Amino acid sequence: MPKDEIVTAPAAAGEPAERSVPRFEVELLKPHSHAGQDLLPGAKIKITAEQRTWLKSLGVVAGETPEK
């Protein structure tokens, strides 16, 4: 399986670009609802490090790379 990809989300309105939250692209292992959509295994989503840790603990996503 490919390693997680780090993607930087655009800064919110009025927020400096250097404060944008890093996001990780991960592949789902189980069905999951994300951003109001029901997704199936194999779908890729972009999530924060905290979300990735939580979804890994539930077995929804895999990933061997350390948090950054």
- pTM for this entry: 0.64
Nearest-5° angle of CA 57, CA 58, CA 63?
A: 55
Q: What is the pLDDT of residue 21?
A: 86
Cα dihedral 56, 59, 60, 65 sign:
positive
Q: What is the pLDDT of residue 66?
A: 42
Q: What is the pLDDT of residue 62?
A: 81
Break the chain into its structural domains and give their ranges.
1-8+22-68
23 touches 5 (CB < 8 A): no
Q: What is the mean pLDDT of each run of 10 residues along the chain (68 residues)?
A: 52 59 93 92 93 94 59
61 touches 46 (CB < 8 A): no
Q: Which residues contact 65 (CB under 8 A, 6 or more apart)?
A: 3, 4
